Amino acid sequence: MRVLGRAVDDQTRCVHYRTELDIVAIRFKCCGEFYPCHLCHAETAGHDAVVWPLGERSAQAILCGVCSRTMSIRDYLEADGCSSCKSPFNPGCRLHRHLYFETEKR
Ligand SMILES: [Zn+2]
Ligand SMILES: [Zn+2]
Ligand SMILES: [Zn+2]
């Protein structure tokens, strides 16, 4: 699976987010390409990011850098780790969800 942006290893860590738990790449709605993070997209894609609408929660837009399998946005938002290999994801990513996905109105 091709991952663009500024990845620093083969588990999708990048120059911005590179802790043990930063193993997720996200496919962007706008270009259909995987990037390690929103900053990678902002710096290298050359266009504004488009978030995934609420109605597309079943899109396979999440890539686990450990097992290289994809998961749906719905599964990702509900899980604390990879649905395939059980690797834990960075809980801090929750703070940035609105940069990738349309969030529920409150
Ligand atoms: Zn894009
Ligand atoms: Zn990045
Ligand atoms: Zn995995």
Task: Show Cβ contacts of residue 65 under 8 Å, excluding neighbours closer than 6 positions.
Answer: 3, 10, 11, 12, 13, 23, 24, 25
Q: pLDDT for 42-73, tens place per residue?
A: 999 999 999 999 999 999 999 999 999 999 99
Distance 25 CA to ligand 1 centre (A): 13
Whether 106 has a pLDDT exceeding 80, the answer reads: no
Distance 70 CA to ligand 3 centre (A): 8
Q: pLDDT for 38-48, tens place per residue?
A: 999 999 999 99
Distances (CA, A) of 89 to 33, 41, 45, 98: 20, 20, 24, 17
Average pLDDT of the segment spanning 1-15: 96
Listed by start position, the domains of the chain span 24-99
pLDDT value, residue 104: 78
Percent of the chain scoring above 70 in pLDDT: 98
Whether 37 has a pLDDT exceeding 80, the answer reads: yes
Query: Which ligand neighbours the alpha carbon of 28 most closely?
Result: 1
Distance 32 CA to ligand 1 centre (A): 7
Q: What is the mean pLDDT of the chain?
A: 95
